[in-house]
Amino acid sequence: MPTVRDATLASATALGLTTWYGNPGSTEIPLLADLPDHLRYVLALHEHSAVTMAAGHALATGRPVLVNLHTTAGLGNAVSALATARLNRAPLVVLVGQQDRRHLAFEPFLTGRLQGLAGDYPVSVHMPLRAQDVPGAVARARHEAAYHRGPALVIVPMGDWAQEMDDTELAAPQTLDAATAVAARQLEPLVALIDSARAPVLVTGAGSDSDAAWDAVVSLADRLACPVWQEPFSARAGFPQDHPRFAGFLPAGRAGVRQTLAGHDMVLVIGAGILKQFHFEPGPLFVEGTVAAVVTDDPGEAVRSPARLALVAPIAAACAGLADRVAPRRPPPSPPGTASSLSPATGPWPSVASEPSPATGPSPPVPRGAAPEGIRPEDVFAALGARLHPDTVVVEESPSSRDALQAMVPARHPLGFLSAAMGGLGFALGAATGIRLADPRRPVLAVLGDGSAVYGIQALWSAAHYGVGVLFIVLDNASYRTMNRLVARQGKAPWPDLGGVHVDGLARALGCPALTVSTKAELSALLDEVVPGLSTRAEPLLVNVVLDEPPIVP
């Protein structure tokens, strides 16, 4: 008779769970010892990195990835990364070790109170009632992770693995597929709403970041001859940001949204809820008389949206269907003296490439007052924007310069931009590593603040050990500049600056090659050398860019 472990490995293999990320503990040794060679185990030096790397891998492939965590200590370390994985909709099967069930009642060493440790961030948490239910629970977790797009936890007592399997079927399908079509009838109310509007506008979110959805939303925007905005604080690009209809990034405050979208009487949000905010601001989201609708494949986004109509449907199919059915429109007349054809620089709407937008403020400023050779974040982004291949994945974690990065390095292919959906720092280093590990042909760049880099630094060891060719650019302003800006409005900060943190030194200590640059000339020379080879790079490189930024004015 095969064991529970044999049956689980066979089922996991059949379901495509062949790359495992983890950090081992004694409760998982019966599972991990002599793991078959066709299963690849990627070691992370901290469970947070195991989950961020796995999340990057899962987002790059669109398929679930397995994570191995060690009882309370391991799961506890991983919780914020699991929460981020849930918000970023990364499908993960998380096996959590537990003490042997035969003496769990005595609370032996390493007993975990695991069930509620990750709160309600996982899409499911199961500890099978019998050892023989473990293979089925793992298969179900794979389907739950894929269907609900988040981490599904299975807690496995260590004695279960050696138990004999019985001949009861696994309580899980071999294949689970979800519909990707939408019935024409279900689109009719939305078609009517759009057709009755005078000036509709589209707002896209992370949910429409796929080849098929980009194509469909482009067709819809063309049909409606309307601009397309990106939702505030979006973790991914829902529309090609070099497209002439791309209007920019909405502000994360109600007043800014109202003002930006004031000329439209209908707002159709695609692949997001209505509408992510940051600091609370009173007042309505839209000017009076504006009708809002949402198309999303996430029921959670639909149910919390203050909309006239919310449609839960596969986004690409729904948008393609809308594009076929809504009445075609002509573009608004161009103001006198401007070109009539659309191009990123000449479109009728404020474009990131052309003029100031109410969302992002003035175009990225030309640095003034800095030492001629001193580097501002905008210098880095201009240098990157001029060199990066359009297919590059940019993983962002540079809080005080995110707006400039997004404006100056547009996402030109799906997964061209990725950041932590809930704003938790420590995601980018691991996520970039996992993406590149999953897809070694795609150039991958992570842009990190110096503070942010330290939250996920252990992933650099894995990147180095497994020969993962990510370029990590650290913007070294020796501070939590974002926090300093926020606090400056109200008083003095109780925390010091970060002088003395040398991220390049940390990288080298973890086996990752690292350099520091502090002049524009050094930066250009380095990027000229490194960027063209990003798609074939076989080792990571961390570049610490010493910034010369102006003081914060409260």
Ligand X SMILES: Cc1ncc(C[n+]2csc(CCOP(=O)(O)OP(=O)(O)O)c2C)c(N)n1
Q: Contact residues for ligand X (CB under 6 A)?
A: 398-401, 423-426, 449-452, 455, 477, 479-483
- CA-closest candidate to residue 489, choices 441, 541, 553, 538: 553
Identify the three-state secondary structure at position 468. Answer: coil
Please report, for residues 248, 351, 515, the alpha-carbon distance to residue 270 in angstroms, rounded to integers and kept in the order given: 15, 20, 41
Minimum distance of Mg ion from residue 190's CB (angstroms): 44
- The rounded distance, in Å, linking the Cα atoms of 444 and 483 is 28
* Shortest distance (Å) from residue 472 CB to ligand X: 13
CB of 428 to Mg ion, least distance (A): 13
Judged by beta carbon, residue 233 or residue 461, the one nearer ligand X is 233
- The nearest distance, CB 552 to ligand X, in angstroms, is 11
Residue nearest to Mg ion (CB): 449
Which among Mg ion, ligand X, none contacts residue 350 (Cβ within 5 to 8 A by kind)? none
Rounded-to-integer distance, Cα 89 and Cα 276, Å: 16
399 binds, among ligand X, Mg ion, none (CB under 5 to 8 A by kind): ligand X
Q: Output 312 or 483, the one with its CB closest to Mg ion.
A: 483
**Which entry of Mg ion, ligand X, none binds 423, CB below 5 to 8 A by partner kind?**
ligand X
Helix (H) or strand (E) holding 145: helix 134-148
Hey, which bits of 283-371 come out as E strands? 291-296, 309-312
Of 536, 400, 519, 399, whose CA–CA distance to 471 is shortest?
536
> Which H helix or E strand runs over 432?
helix 428-438
Q: How many CA atoms lie within 13 A of 42 on its CB side?
A: 32
List contacts with Mg ion (CB under 5 A): 449-451, 477, 481
How many Å apart are CA 298 and CA 282, to the nearest integer? 27
Please say which residue, 112 or 451, places its beta carbon nearer to ligand X: 451
- The least distance separating Mg ion from the CB of residue 253, rounded to whole angstroms, comes to 23
The residue (of 133 and 549) whose beta carbon lies closer to ligand X is: 549
Nearer to ligand X, 146 or 382 (CB): 382
Q: What is the DSSP letter of 466?
A: T
Output the smallest distance, CB 42 to ligand X, in A.
23
Minimum distance of ligand X from residue 49's CB (angstroms): 13
Q: Which of Mg ion, ligand X, none does residue 482 bind (CB under 5 to 8 Å by kind)?
A: ligand X
- Compute the least distance from the CB of residue 477 to ligand X, in Å: 5
Of Mg ion, ligand X, none, which one sits near residue 97, judging by CB under 5 to 8 A according to partner kind? none
- SS3 annotation, 99-131: CCHHHHHHCCCCCCCCCCCCCCCCCEEECCCCH
Lookup: tokens for 134: 């473990």
Residue whose beta carbon is closest to ligand X:
449
**Among ligand X, Mg ion, none, what does residue 214 contact (CB within 5–8 Å per kind)?**
none
CB 466 within 8 A of CB 85: no
Residue 39 or 483 with smaller CB distance to ligand X: 483
Residue 479 CB, nearest approach to ligand X (Å): 5
Q: Which one of ligand X, Mg ion, none interacts with residue 452, CB within 5 to 8 A by kind?
A: ligand X
Cα separation values, 412 from 354, 385, 420, 433, 487, Å: 17, 11, 19, 20, 35
Instruction: Name the binder of 426 from ligand X, Mg ion, none, CB < 5-8 A by kind.
Output: ligand X
* AA identity, residue 488: A
- Least distance in Å: CB of 473 to Mg ion? 13
| Closer Cβ to ligand X, 315 or 503, answer by number | 503
Radius of gyration of the chain (CA): 25
3-class DSSP string for 41-59 = EEECCCHHHHHHHHHHHHH
Nearer to Mg ion, 214 or 455 (CB): 455
d(CA 157, CA 104): 9
- Asked if 132 and 165 count as a contact pair (C-beta separation under 8 A), the reply is yes
| C-beta closer to ligand X: residue 286 or 455 | 455
Report what 398 binds from ligand X, Mg ion, none; CB cut-off 5-8 Å by kind.
Answer: ligand X
Interacting partner of 25 out of Mg ion, ligand X, none (Cβ under 5 to 8 A depending on kind): none
Contacted entry of Mg ion, ligand X, none for residue 241, CB cut-off 5 to 8 Å set by kind: none
- Comparing CB distances to ligand X, the nearer of 203 and 425 is 425
Token readout for 298 is: 């996430």
Q: What is the DSSP string of 506-542?
A: HHHHTT--EEEE-SHHHHHHHHHHHGGGTTT--S-EE
When the beta carbons of 297 and 450 are compared against Mg ion, the nearer one is: 450
Closest distance between ligand X and the C-beta of residue 427, in Å?
A: 9
